[in-house]
Structure 1
Amino acid sequence: MSEIKRKGLPLTEAKKAIVLIHGRGATADSILSLSSHLNLTDYAILAPQANGNSWYPFGFMASDNGNKVSLEQSLKMLEETRSEILKAGIPNERIYLLGFSQGACLSLEFAAQNARKFGGVVAFTGGLIGEKLDAEKYTGDFSGTPIFIGSSSRDFHVPAKRINESAELLRKMGAEVTVKLYEDSDHTIRTDEIDWINHRMFI
């Protein structure tokens, strides 16, 4: 099991859990600091640490072969984290995923490859991973899982086109997807996005 940083309630005491997934070049500690801005008072908060601070080496729309080995290892790490939560008695419908940038892409990819009822998925600037979107790669039914994707409409790393295509695929898999594209060009997490998920997901 890879390193996981923790905050909030112990898994044995919490009724809900959230997995926070950091971006490229960042750390578990850095994404954990975001939790103080979220309504997570009764959650167990887990933040896995990527090897070398990166979940996969190339861009999320680069050659599938280039990212394959690292991406598989990263998805396995998330599965191990989810399994630990499930073993503690917290059901999948009370497990949340939240990521920023590379972590947002990974959170969406993991959810889509393991589609079922989650508490919710938050992707701050991200889309499904792959050179091209391949619907046949994903199976399962989100059963109304709320998914939020927020980003700049002209983000340098994550094209709005891929965000919208990802959202449509996730909707076809039964998710309730909200996309908010902002007019600024900042690669960041906005106060408006925090407010949205606090009032509609973490309640």
Structure 2
Amino acid sequence: MHEWGATAGTAGLAVLAVHGRGQTPQFMQETAARFAAPRVRFHAPHAAGDSWYPEPFLVPLERNRPALGESLEIVTGCLDELAGRGFPRERVVLWGFSQGACLLAHHVLTVAPQRYAGLILFTGGYIGPEPITGPPAGSLDGLATVVRSIDRDPWVPRYRVEETAALLEWAGATVDLRIDPGDEHVITDGACAAAGELLTTAGVRAG
């Protein structure tokens, strides 16, 4: 994993940063510079070919297999690696943009609904064309979550972002949802400010 930020010995939190399609961990590092979050160490895996799965996230799941399953396993493996370095899940914030946000949303809702230190989803939602049940009520109690998107984003429809936020809330997460006007696939300054606030608060809680 590509790493940056506070040293492992001084960091109160780890962030697992998952990039979007056609991007690299360097994009996440450049974006993280807009967060102004101290005592955080970032860890970013790099997808083969800069893509976590081959087709759009709203197509039938079969069309994105086996790559989707392999990528979900990569997320689990990264979390296990962080735990081995002294960052158990309750000291890890998950952060993704675009395809990376979709991957993390799907992971939290369908693979491992656990109490992480936080969840930041920039322009993404769970994967597949059909509604999903989501995790049991209470399984994400207290999970601080920031969800941001753009109203007419060309790749991620507003309804899926809202559905994802609703499932997270049903499971007990505390969701800060905002969808800004526009039609570009971008991360706004306001989204970065909200992420920085979440990281600062989570860092205080982690000690």
Question: Is the TM value for this pair above 0.5?
Answer: yes
Picking from 56, 67, 71, the partner of 2:53 is: 56
Structure 1's unaligned 5+ residue stretches are none
The alignment status of 1:19 with 2:22, answered yes or no, reads: no
**Local SS of the residue matching 1:103:** helix
**Local SS of the residue matching 1:135:** coil
Picking from 94, 97, 102, the partner of 1:97 is: 94
Residues 119-169 of structure 1 show CA distances to partners (whole Å, capped at 9, x for unaligned) of: 111111011111212216x45711210111111111121111111111111
Task: Give, in angstroms, the shift of residue 77 of structure 1.
Answer: 0.8
Partner of 2:123: 125
Instruction: Give the TM-score taking structure 2 as reference length.
Output: 0.90
Residues 54-99 of structure 1 show CA distances to partners (whole Å, capped at 9, x for unaligned) of: 0011111111101121111111111111001111222211100111
Equivalent residue runs for 1:75-86 within 5 Å: 75-86=72-83
Judged with a 3 Å threshold, the aligned counterparts in structure 2 of structure 1 residues 170 and 44 are, in CA distance, closer, same or farther, namely same
Partner of 1:145: 143
**Local SS of the residue matching 1:178:** strand
**Number of aligned positions between the proteins:** 199
Runs of 4 or more above 2 Å deviation: 9-15, 199-203
| Residues in 2 aligned to 1:59 and 1:51: alpha-carbon distance in whole angstroms | 17
| Residues in 2 aligned to 1:14 and 1:90: alpha-carbon distance in whole angstroms | 10
Percent identical residues: 30
Equivalent residue runs for 1:174-185 within 5 Å: 174-185=172-183
| Residues in 2 aligned to 1:87 and 1:47: alpha-carbon distance in whole angstroms | 16
Partner of 1:38: 35
| Residues in 1 aligned to 2:164 and 2:75: alpha-carbon distance in whole angstroms | 20
Partner of 2:2: 5
